[in-house]
Structure 1
Amino acid sequence: MNIWKKAYEKWIGNEQLHPPLKKELQSIQYNEEKLQELFHKDLTFGTGGIRGVVGAGTNRLNIYTIRKVIHGLAHYLLANCVNVKDRGVVIAYDNRYMSKEFAIETAKTLGVFGIKTYVFTSIRPTPLLSYAVRYFGTVAGVMITASHNPPEYNGLKVYNEDGGQLIPEEANEVMQEIQKLDNELKVPILSEIELEEKELLIWVENEVDDAYLQEFVQITRQPNDVFQTKRDLKIVFTPLHGTAYDLVRRGLDVFHFPEVHVVEEQIISDPEFKTVESPNPEEHQAFQLAMEKGYKVDADILLATDPDADRLGVAVKNKAGTYTVLTGNQLGCLFIDYILTHTDPIFLKNGRILKTIVTTELATSVAESYGVEVVNTLTGFKYIADEIRQYDETGETYLFGFEESYGYLFSGFVRDKDAIQAAVMACEMAEFWKRQGKTLLDVLEDLYEKHRFHVEDMTSITLEGVSGTKQIEAIMNDVRDNPFTEIASLQVEKIEDYLVGERKILPEERQETLDLPKENTIKYILENNNWLCLRPSGTEPKIKCYYGVSGKSKEESKIRLTSLKGAIEQRFDQILKNIK
């Protein structure tokens, strides 16, 4: 019997199987293709946790796959952390299907081990979960969310005792514990009543929200007399049916922004996200209703947060009177310039800006013009959070961190990207420049004039199935074994291979060690501050290519970007043709 059939028989033959899941399996009992999809593998626990379509089967997210992950997490915590049972784990969840049920299943599973849990009574943003870990001093945090994935998805992110997402070493140890369990249907749990009777379940209401907002006064860059006055800025805000509405509104109140117009249709907590094609502020269609509202009220700035409120998109009016959506790179550089302009020079010498290796080099140019060092991490905010943790020990000063995919963090009281902090600070920054007679687009143009015109982009190729995996491997192997020395008439100056942890300096081929974790990523650094980076996706059957170019004008930069893309596409086509 096939492995998937054995797994299916185990599930359908279980008399105690959760009735909705049993009903789902019975409805497709003669559809072998569908059953194989549900049972041909287990959902994989990676560095970001676990994510999948909600439904029956080992390849779906359900109460049993949740229990299996948390059972492994409990073993990991008891083996690696101190005072686990008393310190406990804090659990939050967003507005997706089954989110609260999965949160309670998490508490039920941890309760068997005598581990106390703090569970929020209603939906909360991801950054608040990160803060709650630090606020309560728990050994870990669990966030039930699928971020901006389609409605049929849900997921689970695990946070360490510092409040950051698990780094690879931690995640690998958790995964090893998960894999020791061979039957997810037999994971023991306590009932909710038993948890409450044993005082292992503590319901959390507004205590953490209030404490989180009290921290906000430390992120402003304006003097107290300005901070305490009402700000003249017209704001439109949409939480895209997610979790950010209450905290963003309260945060804007703390910063004295009275004129906030919300997109009423998108305040509703809707797991179907009916008013958008995708609840992702990186995609411009997510701003459609916000723009309509913006034109009606003549808004200065539009804000959009993704469902779990760890990403922020911003749009501002251009000279033609229409709204332009800023890229994550553009907004991040505007933030850097604003922060450093308003930071005492005494703190700049030891200050650090953090960004990922696929984030714009304009950030480096801006920061260095203020004498501030930029530190690069691998892709993923967990690496930025871990760097902040190290600064607690070294005494270096964390000033700001961001990644190109709309993630920003101003203050380390949270250890994950925080769209609530970013939304409030975007408004403070826009209002400051409005008083100077400028828009954020005007300031961005000033940065380009001073630091060259930087343009970034990302392309990807989807290669599915077993053959796709081999093709992605072949591409990465080819660019390693036969490296570029020139791309689109630009000389290669450095090749950084993060899988082997080496940087090669050309043309002399001198080697340096990269002080970063191992990852299957290659970055080519080209002359005149141009670069590209290749990496397979960790969650999808794709290989991604990130590009960063700079030129004396926007036109020159865009032409260069097109040339780089063309050169890479041609190389990929040749590699794929050779392996067919």
Structure 2
Amino acid sequence: EEQVNKLAKYWATAPVFDSKTQKEIGALLEAKDTKELAERFYRDLEFGTGGLRGILGAGTARMNIYNVRKAAQAFADYLNSHFKDKPNKSIAISYDSRRFSREFSEATAEVMAANGITSYITAELRPTPILSFAVRHYGCQGGVCVTASHNPPQYNGYKVYWATGGQIVPPHDEEIIRRYSDLKNYEDIKFMAFADGLKKGLIKEVGKELDEAYFAELVKLSVRAGVGRENFKIVYTPLHGTGGKIVPEALKRFGFKDVTMVPEQAEPNAEFPTVKFPNPEEPEAMEMAINLGRKLKADLVLGTDPDSDRIGIVVREGEDYRIFNGNQIGSLLIDFFLSGLKDSGRMPKNPLVIKTVVTTEQQDKIAAFYGATSEETLTGFKWICQLIDDIETGKNKPHRQYVCGGEESYGFLAGTHVRDKDAVSACCIAAEMVAYYKSKGKTLSQVLDEIFLRHGAYLESLLTVTLPGMDGASRIGEIMNQLRANPPKELAGSTVEKFRDLEKGQELNLKSGQKADIPLPSSNVLQFILSDGSKVSARPSGTEPKIKFYFSVFKDLPSKASEAELASAKAGCAKRIGELEQAFKALIN
């Protein structure tokens, strides 16, 4: 409490803070609002796995211009030490439609300029994948994207990228985090006025030429060019985010002319007024787009989150619209993309598909079917992109060529010109996929059934428990500790055969007692592999006060399964997943 008061007094009086900030904290001190003061000062805003993310407001634990400058200074210090022999260092900067996103971007450029680093900043908001592309396009040493992705409006965030165009991973993240934590005095942060940076050529605003360079790479991802483009209607929503600036044009470049944006959600708006959460994973976020789709009899309804790295896909099947989940979208896109490459003779030698440890294993089978190998990484797209980089630099089994991959949380990436999940290109490939199957007289549901008949029936679900604040964080820790110390021996009538602890990097066979190493970086993830082929994974979210439980079930099918056998397998999967969810809820309560 003493520490909290000391910090609060510093924020209320130090001349480094503007009067609005001083007043905001001064009022809390005057009102003796100890709970709110504790929430704002009980810790530093954590520079986490990919950067900062937090609630906007004054205080050390909040997202504000002072903590943004602090992060920028830590990043600048590290870039200047790591690339000390490189004369002209630069970073790329972009931002989404949230409160203060432009201000935080300019603040970053101002700090970089004062530290001798040039910034290429987008003149207006742009999708995160375009920022990743910009880092590579301009040959930068790093990048920053100001976004809180699909969090509620009171949040903003700060994603940090490395020279590869991917989000920072060890050892770079640890080095930047250390510098961030050591920076105690906001007075020590260097920055110059934005206008001066522009004059000195240390800040450069970029626009059209960056978009065009991105589109030039994007169109190379078309694997069924020109097929089914006529009489194909698309409805698209950017959910008040960055996608509206780019996605309709991207679809046009892919040959899709009939694209209607949801008018109420087309303009960037930091309050996301028409949705509870601006997340295309949530069916209700896609509701307006689906309703417009029904009205226009659209073939395909697409949605992207505010920074356009996650995609939602809803497809017309008869008179109905079917929503596909992240695992299904990934499986369908991978199957379509690989088959397109194969049919057009464009499949590279040693093709590789990468997915995360909590994504459906169906994708490994799809990859193998087309002669590709598959690899698993930790959750988070930065790990997929790190593996692509390790292969290219020869650190990890070179001579393989990444083709596509993704994660169950609605993220997908084809090609290597971007090093983050890219909903802009995913929208284009999804449109091409649905148009191609429509021209063949097939629905996506039928295609998914064909995939089941080839590889067995799979079904996945996600149970998310939200536990906010200081109390929530300790409860999340308790749940993980309890599962780690006493892993269940059985779940819903199936014995747990293997227990995988990715923090220890160890897989324990509960039958034989044998241990095996897991060749992945340490991460707080636990997995339970059951005797019936089911898998349950538990992991705390890296960006939100949530703990997530992933369920995956599998039912094998005979090689020439009948429609009845397929229907029975699908029903069996649905029943099984319900039982596992119930058993797991009971276990953690």
Superposition TM-score tier, normalisation by shorter sequence: over 0.9
Q: Which moved more, 1:254-263 or 1:20-29?
A: 20-29
**Counterpart AA for 2:233:** K
Q: 2:500 aligns with which of 487, 491, 496?
A: 496
User: 1:33-48, aligned counterparts within 5 Å?
Assistant: 33=34, 34-48=36-50
Residues 254, 428 of structure 2: 8 Å contact kept:
yes
Change (3 A) 1:465 1:195: closer
**Counterpart AA for 1:69:** A
Residues 87, 137 of structure 1: 8 Å contact kept:
no
Query: Paired residue for 2:88?
Result: 86
Q: 1:167 aligns with which of 166, 169, 179?
A: 169
Residues 77, 84 of structure 1: 8 Å contact kept:
no
Secondary structure in structure 1 of the residue aligned to 2:246: helix
User: 1:15-94, aligned counterparts within 5 Å?
Assistant: 15-31=15-31, 32-33=33-34, 34-81=36-83, 86-94=88-96
**Counterpart AA for 2:363:** A
Residues 231, 256 of structure 1: 8 Å contact kept:
no
Residues 47, 168 of structure 1: 8 Å contact kept:
no
Query: Paired residue for 1:333?
Result: 331
**Counterpart AA for 1:377:** T
| In structure 1, distance between residues paired with 2:27 and 2:15 | 17
Q: Which runs of 5+ in 2 are unaligned?
A: 556-567
The offset of 1:457, in angstroms, is: 1.1
Secondary structure in structure 2 of the residue aligned to 1:529: coil
Query: Deviation digits for residues 537-559 of structure 1, max 9, x if unmatched?
Result: 22344332111012252221111
Residues 93, 144 of structure 1: 8 Å contact kept:
yes
Q: 1:180 aligns with which of 172, 179, 182?
A: 182
Residues 500, 518 of structure 1: 8 Å contact kept:
yes
| In structure 1, distance between residues paired with 2:350 and 2:331 | 19
Does residue 276 of the first structure (1) align with residue 275 of the second (2)?
yes
The offset of 1:80, in angstroms, is: 1.6
Q: 2:531 aligns with which of 527, 546, 551?
A: 527
User: 1:305-324, aligned counterparts within 5 Å?
Assistant: 305-319=304-318, 321-324=319-322
Q: Which moved more, 1:144-153 or 1:346-355?
A: 346-355
Does residue 421 of the first structure (1) align with residue 419 of the second (2)?
no
Identity %: 38
Query: Paired residue for 1:576?
Result: none
Does residue 397 of the first structure (1) align with residue 401 of the second (2)?
yes
Q: 1:452 aligns with which of 440, 449, 456?
A: 456
**Counterpart AA for 2:548:** K
Query: Deviation digits for residues 378-420 of structure 1, max 9, x if unmatched?
Result: 1100000101112213121111111111111011100000000
Query: Paired residue for 2:441?
Result: 437
| In structure 2, distance between residues paired with 1:545 and 1:435 | 38
Query: Paired residue for 1:577?
Result: none
| In structure 1, distance between residues paired with 2:124 and 2:474 | 44
The offset of 1:526, in angstroms, is: 2.1
TM-score, length-scaled by structure 2: 0.92
**Counterpart AA for 1:397:** Q
Query: Deviation digits for residues 414-449 of structure 1, max 9, x if unmatched?
Result: 000000000011000000000110111221122223
**Counterpart AA for 1:326:** F
Query: Paired residue for 1:123?
Result: 125
Residues 494, 505 of structure 1: 8 Å contact kept:
yes
Secondary structure in structure 2 of the residue aligned to 1:233: coil
Residues 53, 154 of structure 1: 8 Å contact kept:
yes
Q: Which moved more, 1:449-458 or 1:284-293?
A: 449-458
Query: Deviation digits for residues 150-177 of structure 1, max 9, x if unmatched?
Result: 1111110000000000114321111001
**Counterpart AA for 1:333:** S
Change (3 A) 1:449 1:16: same
TM-score, length-scaled by structure 1: 0.94
Q: Which moved more, 1:199-208 or 1:443-452?
A: 443-452
Change (3 A) 1:408 1:132: same
The offset of 1:346, in angstroms, is: 8.0
Secondary structure in structure 2 of the residue aligned to 1:142: strand
**Counterpart AA for 2:336:** Y
Residues 238, 305 of structure 1: 8 Å contact kept:
yes
Q: Which moved more, 1:351-360 or 1:179-188?
A: 179-188
State the number of aligned residues. 569
| In structure 2, distance between residues paired with 1:569 and 1:338 | 36
Query: Deviation digits for residues 446-501 of structure 1, max 9, x if unmatched?
Result: 22233232111111334455555444334333333333343222233332211111
Residues 16, 186 of structure 2: 8 Å contact kept:
no
**Counterpart AA for 1:453:** A
Secondary structure in structure 1 of the residue aligned to 2:363: helix
Superposed CA RMSD in Å reads: 2.0
Query: Paired residue for 2:558?
Result: none
User: 1:285-300, aligned counterparts within 5 Å?
Assistant: 285-300=284-299
| In structure 1, distance between residues paired with 2:157 and 2:300 | 32
The offset of 1:217, in angstroms, is: 2.3
Residues 39, 469 of structure 2: 8 Å contact kept:
no
Query: Paired residue for 1:238?
Result: 237
Query: Paired residue for 2:107?
Result: 105
The offset of 1:83, in angstroms, is: 5.0
Query: Deviation digits for residues 32-65 of structure 1, max 9, x if unmatched?
Result: 2333322222100011210112221112111111
**Counterpart AA for 2:577:** L
| In structure 2, distance between residues paired with 1:55 and 1:193 | 26
Query: Paired residue for 1:559?
Result: 575
Residues 454, 557 of structure 1: 8 Å contact kept:
yes
Change (3 A) 1:114 1:243: same
Q: Which moved more, 1:506-515 or 1:248-257?
A: 506-515
**Counterpart AA for 1:89:** I
Does residue 260 of the first structure (1) align with residue 259 of the second (2)?
yes
Does residue 134 of the first structure (1) align with residue 136 of the second (2)?
yes
**Counterpart AA for 1:385:** C
